[in-house]
Amino acid sequence: MKSTIEPWHIPAGPEGDTVGWQFREPGLAWRAAPFALVAVAATVSVLVPYGAMESWSQYAASVALLLLCAGAFLLPWQRLPSWTPVLVPLLYTCSVLLLILASGVASGVGLVLLVPLMWTVLFHRPWESGCVVVAVVAVQAVTSVVQATPGAVVVRRVVLWSVLGVLIAVAAHGLRDRISGSLVANAALQAEVRELSLVRERDRIAHDLRQSVLRKIFDVGLHLHSTAAMIGDGPTHRRLMHSVAELDEAIQALRDSVFDLGDSDPAGSAVDGSAPDER
């Protein structure tokens, strides 16, 4: 039975077709759609109900960065260096920073910082997740300073977001490693099951040959051998003995076509007249 589960996609090296797989087919829709929905909802939500905005220029810059992130799905990633995919979540983190500054502290969009973090821990390498954690913490520090937050509160935010980001990254990457290990073990188990099924099928075929085909050929050989002995020497005798020899070769070929049955001869030999080996 062939597994229908796809292995967890993890970039395998600095070169090759794995670069930027996060932004390419297959499976692009289910990867990007939920995150895109949250990003668009957060960007639009700050315009309602009253459209109060502290800085329209910062809002426009945030939207521009969001559109650049969307354009990343069109880039020729195969031609870019292996480190470039991390720029996309970092770019969106900057977009969230501008969105927070444009809408103010009361807008409640700060939690959107979890979006780039969740994206990287699910689809990027550990060092890339670390970069995004640092960026998220930096955004918290910058917004706190801009909002003239007391120093103790700034330190508390930085520490809490650092711990939260590291916890999410470590837990998610550990889970990914366990899933990958389980998929590899499952594939190995399925390969072993297929091999055992093949061995059992070969045993069954060999048993059927032993009990039917080879035995019938052996009986025909014995019959020809007895007939040759009855008619004495002559051309007919030689032709019958030649046929018996060809039957022996056919028996051996059938045995070899399945697998080596060992030292025992299940169907005997049509020439020497030995009896079949019963199991």
- The widest CA-to-CA distance across the chain, in whole angstroms, is 119
Cα distance between residue 137 and residue 135, in whole Å: 5
- Tokens for 162, please give them: 């650092």
pTM of the predicted protein model: 0.65
Count how many Cα atoms sit within 13 Å of the Cα of residue 117 in the half-sphere of its side chain: 25
Q: Kindly report the number of other CB atoms within 10 A of residue 1's CB atom.
A: 7
Please write the tens of the pLDDT for every residue from 107-147. 778 889 999 999 999 999 999 999 999 999 999 899 888 87
Give me the residue spans of the domains in the chain. 21-177, 203-279
Tokens of residue 94, six digits: 């900057």
State the sign of the Cα–Cα–Cα–Cα dihedral 144, 149, 150, 153.
negative
CA gap 116, 278 in Å, rounded:
71
DSSP 276: P
| Residue 14 dihedral angles phi and psi, to the nearest 5° | -75, -15
Cβ contact 31:6 at 8 Å: no
Q: How far apart are CA 139 and CA 97, in angstroms?
A: 6
Write out pLDDT tens, residues 61-99: 999 999 999 999 899 988 899 899 999 999 999 999 999
The alpha carbon of residue 206 and the mean position of all alpha carbons in its chain are separated, in whole angstroms, by: 37
- Residue pLDDT tens, the chain, 279 long: 444 444 444 444 334 458 888 898 788 888 899 999 999 999 988 887 665 677 889 999 999 999 999 999 899 988 899 899 999 999 999 999 999 888 876 677 888 999 999 999 999 999 999 999 999 999 989 988 887 778 888 899 899 999 999 999 999 999 988 998 898 999 999 999 999 998 888 788 777 766 777 777 777 878 877 887 777 777 877 787 888 888 888 777 777 776 554 444 444 444 454 444 443
